[in-house]
């Protein structure tokens, strides 16, 4: 037989015809038992079952899972960190830096510290009234092509540095044309949101109500925006578990991508390829709402400069554009100038480490003593699979090697050149429920200029910029993400969001007050899953929501 397959041998014997057999013909394609190729998922593991949870599925964060379900659920240090004297000290130092306003803040900013945006290491909040400025959310800004605004840059910074010095609620806020002459420093612009209530009905006749946001911007301190301006509202996300997300091998995420929908399932997730500013090479984006950053360090460094005005070795320039003379003048009065960063690399590395090793809260609904799950949650998990939610919210991933900081190995006094892997972040099986890919969620936006009575205007102090959108779109492209594409958010911890911060809400802009509303806003690639949710029975809906609450 080998000679007939190019085996290299020869034979002079006359070949014989094999005897017919009465054994059944086995097709290896239709008979998976005899298929020599095992079925594996993107991580090389047996696919997650719809009917039976994994043995350790309640350990959401692998070795950094924490069994805390109070308002400290997103702020807890894992046991393996506590047990390591050195790591525990680094965690404490990083936590302190995360919570404390840093020297060199400003001249323009959204918040004075990391914790000012990420409340209890969780989500930010939408202001409760139009008279309350945004502090843990903000508006990204650009034009229809994704270019930065020539005067305001890529995000609106509500405050100037004076806001940290005088706690009177007014200092540092924007003032119409207040900084145009360059002699006085004010925050850039004042953004607020108003809601229109819209209603709908589930297939069983139960009604629901959604908040549709309209974003308005007034009191522009540095003159008008660009003629094709568009905005994107962002509520600060929770930060726990970021080291695990960074640790997913790029090839595993690319294996989930299907940008051309070749399998015709209506889902066309694509990886955002972004520039690693440390290497100037393209990598898979994982962090921020449109996956703009490839690793935790770049995400944190960009936030330090963009949100707080704290310069660092990755992003050295102050957050002032060439058209903001008052900002540039104030920056010249700071202690650290030019290419001297406000925050040192070792401090930045400690904040990165803290972000990476924050504990991930364990799933609720599992009884370890009896190895059983709450039946309602188990039924909701199955509905989550059946409705296609798992097509984007991939349940399980595995990490490769993960280091504590990309800046180097942290020591008591310095950074060593070569960072070492962190064992409790590396080779971990964990359950974040995301594919970290971009998906088109549908919708479109329109920006107008209006007076308070909604009549059209062209200029003046009372002429506001107004953005109204259908669906979840923002019409602001960012890198590979279009104006209607968003990264799939991780769902781990979503059941504790409002335990950690009672005022927190859901989706990128906080419009959804609960999980049901978040699902009902889905469109585009997620329209089919949303329609299935609407057509569930009341019992199935409650089971699905109970499952989400257990995450």
Q: What is the pLDDT of residue 142?
A: 97
State whether residue 430 is helix, strand or coil: strand
**Is 68 a residue whose pLDDT tops 70?**
yes
Q: What is the pLDDT of residue 169?
A: 54
Cis amide bond preceding 352, omega within 30: no
The CA distance from 258 to 414, in Å, is: 44
**Is 276 a residue whose pLDDT tops 60?**
yes
**Is 90 a residue whose pLDDT tops 90?**
yes
**Is 4 a residue whose pLDDT tops 70?**
no
**Is 167 a residue whose pLDDT tops 80?**
no
No. of helices (H) and no. of strands (E), the chain: 14, 20
Query: Are 236 and 124 spatial neighbours (Cβ–Cβ below 8 Å)?
Result: yes
Give the model confidence (pLDDT) of 194-238 as tens digits: 999 999 999 999 999 999 999 999 999 999 999 999 999 999 999
With 0-12 / 13-18 / 19 or more C-beta atoms within 10 angstroms meaning exposed / middle / buried, residue 214 is middle
Confidence of residue 337 (pLDDT cuts 50, 70, 90): confident
Q: What is the pLDDT of residue 35?
A: 53
Q: What is the pLDDT of residue 16?
A: 39
Query: Are 157 and 172 spatial neighbours (Cβ–Cβ below 8 Å)?
Result: no
Q: How far is CA 337 from the centre of its chain?
A: 32
Q: What is the mean pLDDT of the chain?
A: 92
The CA distance from 406 to 278, in Å, is: 9
The CA distance from 186 to 173, in Å, is: 6
Q: What is the pLDDT of residue 291?
A: 98
The answer to whether the predicted template modeling score (pTM) of the entire model surpasses 0.85 is yes
Query: Which residues on neighbouring strands pair with residue 127, listed in sequence order?
Result: none
Query: Are 384 and 427 spatial neighbours (Cβ–Cβ below 8 Å)?
Result: no
Quickly tell me which residue has 């843990």 as its tokens.
Answer: 136
State whether residue 311 is helix, strand or coil: coil
**Is 15 a residue whose pLDDT tops 90?**
no
Q: What is the pLDDT of residue 74?
A: 98
The CA distance from 101 to 483, in Å, is: 33
Lowest mean pLDDT among 245-249, 336-340, 415-419, 423-427: 336-340
Q: What is the pLDDT of residue 249?
A: 98
Q: What is the pLDDT of residue 21?
A: 41
Q: What is the pLDDT of residue 23?
A: 45
Q: Sort strands 273-276 and 229-235 into parallel, antiparallel or unpaired.
A: unpaired
The domain segmentation of the chain, as residue ranges, is 62-550
Report, as an integer, the average pLDDT of 530-548: 98
Lowest mean pLDDT among 30-34, 92-96, 110-114, 485-489: 30-34
Confidence of residue 6 (pLDDT cuts 50, 70, 90): very low
Core vs surface per residue 126-151: b (16+ CB within 10 A) or e: bbeeeeebbbbbbbbbbbbebeebeb
The CA distance from 232 to 142, in Å, is: 9
Lowest mean pLDDT among 14-18, 58-62, 94-98, 453-457: 14-18
**Is 514 a residue whose pLDDT tops 50?**
yes
Cα–Cα nearest to 131, from 184, 194, 187: 194
32 or 204, higher pLDDT: 204
Q: Any idea of the CA torsion for 355, 501, 236, 441, to the nearest 10 degrees?
A: 110
Share of the chain above pLDDT 90, in %: 89
Q: What is the pLDDT of residue 18?
A: 40
Q: Sort strands 190-201 and 65-66 into parallel, antiparallel or unpaired.
A: unpaired
Report, as an integer, the average pLDDT of 393-402: 98
State whether residue 259 is helix, strand or coil: coil
Q: What is the pLDDT of residue 38?
A: 74
Confidence of residue 31 (pLDDT cuts 50, 70, 90): low
The CA distance from 5 to 22, in Å, is: 26
Cα–Cα distances in Å, from 191 out to 123, 188, 210, 234? 19, 10, 21, 12
Which DSSP letter does residue 453 get? Answer: T
The CA distance from 308 to 306, in Å, is: 6
Give the model confidence (pLDDT) of 373-384 as tens digits: 999 999 999 999
**Is 164 a residue whose pLDDT tops 90?**
no
Torsions phi, psi for 107 (to 5 deg): -70, -25
Cα–Cα nearest to 359, from 289, 428, 437, 288: 428
Q: How far is CA 449 from the centre of its chain?
A: 31
**Is 546 a residue whose pLDDT tops 50?**
yes
Ordered alpha helix ranges (H), 334-462:
345-357, 375-386
Q: What is the pLDDT of residue 22?
A: 44
Give the model confidence (pLDDT) of 409-467 as tens digits: 999 999 999 999 999 999 999 999 999 999 999 999 999 999 999 999 999 999 999 99
Q: ∠ CA(64), CA(69), CA(72), 5° rounding?
A: 75
Name the token pair of 127.
């202001």
Query: Are 141 and 150 spatial neighbours (Cβ–Cβ below 8 Å)?
Result: no
């Amino acid at each position: 037989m080998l000679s007939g397959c190019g085996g290299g041998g020869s034979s002079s014997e006359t070949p014989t015809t094999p005897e017919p057999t009465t054994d059944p013909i086995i097709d290896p394609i239709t008979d998976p038992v005899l298929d020599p190729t095992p079925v594996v998922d993107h991580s090389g593991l047996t696919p997650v079952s719809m009917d039976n949870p994994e043995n350790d599925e309640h350990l959401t964060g692998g070795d950094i899972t924490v069994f805390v379900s109070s308002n400290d659920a997103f702020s807890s240090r894992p046991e393996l960190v506590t047990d390591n004297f050195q790591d525990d000290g680094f965690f404490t130092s990083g936590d302190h830096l995360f919570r404390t306003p840093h020297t060199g803040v400003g001249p323009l900013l959204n918040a004075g510290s990391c914790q000012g945006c990420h409340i209890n290491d969780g989500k930010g909040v939408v202001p409760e009234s139009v008279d309350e400025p945004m502090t843990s959310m903000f508006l990204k800004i650009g034009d229809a092509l994704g270019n930065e605004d020539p005067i305001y840059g890529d995000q609106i910074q509500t405050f100037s540095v004076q806001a940290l010095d005088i706690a009177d609620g007014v200092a540092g806020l924007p003032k119409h044309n207040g900084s145009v002459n360059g002699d006085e420093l004010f925050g850039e612009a004042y953004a607020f949101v108003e809601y229109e209530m819209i209603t709908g009905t589930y297939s069983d006749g139960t009604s629901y109500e959604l908040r549709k946001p309209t974003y308005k911007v007034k009191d522009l301190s540095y003159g008008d925006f660009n003629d094709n301006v568009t905005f994107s509202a962002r509520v600060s996300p929770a930060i726990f578990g970021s080291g695990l997300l960074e640790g997913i091998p790029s090839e595993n995420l690319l294996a989930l991508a299907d940008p051309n929908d070749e399998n015709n399932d209506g889902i066309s997730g694509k990886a955002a390829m972004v520039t690693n500013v440390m290497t100037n090479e393209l990598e898979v984006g994982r962090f921020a709402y449109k996956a703009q950053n490839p690793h935790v360090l770049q995400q944190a460094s960009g936030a330090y400069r963009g949100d707080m005005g704290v310069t660092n070795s990755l992003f050295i320039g102050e957050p002032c554009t060439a058209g903001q003379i008052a900002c540039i003048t104030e920056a010249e009065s700071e202690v650290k100038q030019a290419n001297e960063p406000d925050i040192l690399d070792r401090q930045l590395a400690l904040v990165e480490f803290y972000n990476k090793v924050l504990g991930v809260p364990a799933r609720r609904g599992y009884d370890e003593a009896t190895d059983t799950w709450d039946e309602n949650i188990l039924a909701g998990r199955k509905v989550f699979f059946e409705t296609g939610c798992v097509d984007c919210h991939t349940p399980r991933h595995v990490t490769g090697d993960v280091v504590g900081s990309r800046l180097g190995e942290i020591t008591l006094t310095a950074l060593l050149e070569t960072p070492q892997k962190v064992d409790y972040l590396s080779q971990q099986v964990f359950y974040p429920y995301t594919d970290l890919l971009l998906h088109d969620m549908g919708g479109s936006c329109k920006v107008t200029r209006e007076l308070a009575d909604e009549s059209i205007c062209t200029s003046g102090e009372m002429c506001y910029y107004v953005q109204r959108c259908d669906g979840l779109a923002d019409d602001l492209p960012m890198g590979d993400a279009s104006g209607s594409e968003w990264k799939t958010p991780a769902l781990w911890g979503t059941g504790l969001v409002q335990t950690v911060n009672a005022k927190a809400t859901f989706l990128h802009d906080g419009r959804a007050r609960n999980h049901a509303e978040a699902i009902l806003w889905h469109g585009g690639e997620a329209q089919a899953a949303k329609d299935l949710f609407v057509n569930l029975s009341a019992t199935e809906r409650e089971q699905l929501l109970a499952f989400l609450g257990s995450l």
